[in-house]
Amino acid sequence: MALIKSVRGFSPQIGENCFLAENATIIGDTVIGEGCSIWFNAVLRGDVNSIRIGNHVNIQDGAVLHTLYQKSTIEIGDYVSVGHNVTIHGAKIGDYALIGMGATVLDGAVVGEGVIVAANALVLSNTVIEPNTIWAGVPAKCVKKVDEKQSKEINRKIAHNYAMYAGWYQETDEKK
């Protein structure tokens, strides 16, 4: 069972039909919507400020979500995919966004709806990324605008795939 820990009077709230890997860590002022999956070794540290996660979000293996004390919060929309080993520190991520493996999104950044942040990109503090664009590099820069329909289709497919993968683990648990 995942480590779910209260701190400073805040207890994590987890929506219905969520998959939490056995070694995921969810702490403090963290609210997770319905149908989400929090994967192996992911850490959601709502100890110093709040983390709000929408519905049908997947936080993949090794991701770390954290904030600045009394300064930044995390808000993640619906159907967002946060890739393996991503760091999100005090940022806002819009619906249907994809944060690629190993990317870092820093305090005050705003990632618009349908955005793709490429693997290993570094989104600097207070960067505002317009919807339906692809950002890559260190520091991250806009490399391409994408069709809204195409962006949603790609990002929705990934989010739905992770819901399917989570179902595999729930089926395994039910057979025990």
Chunked mean pLDDT (size 10), the chain, 176 residues: 95 97 98 97 98 97 96 96 98 97 98 97 98 97 92 86 91 59
Query: Which amino acid is present at 21?
Result: A
Pairing assessment for the beta strands 141-145 and 133-136 based on DSSP bridges: antiparallel
Is there a contact between 111 and 129 (Cβ–Cβ < 8 Å)? yes
* Structural domains present in the chain: 3-175 (2.160.10.10)
Whole-prediction pTM: 0.94
pLDDT at position 174, please? 59
Say what the pLDDT of residue 175 is: 57
Cβ 130 vs Cβ 110: under 8 Å: no
Question: Looking at residue 71, what is its pLDDT?
Answer: 94
**What per-residue string of b and e applies to 31-59 under the rule 16 or more CB within 10 Å gives b?**
ebbebbbbbeebbbbbbbbebbbbbbbbb
Instruction: Look at residue 170 in the predicted model and tell me its pLDDT.
Output: 77
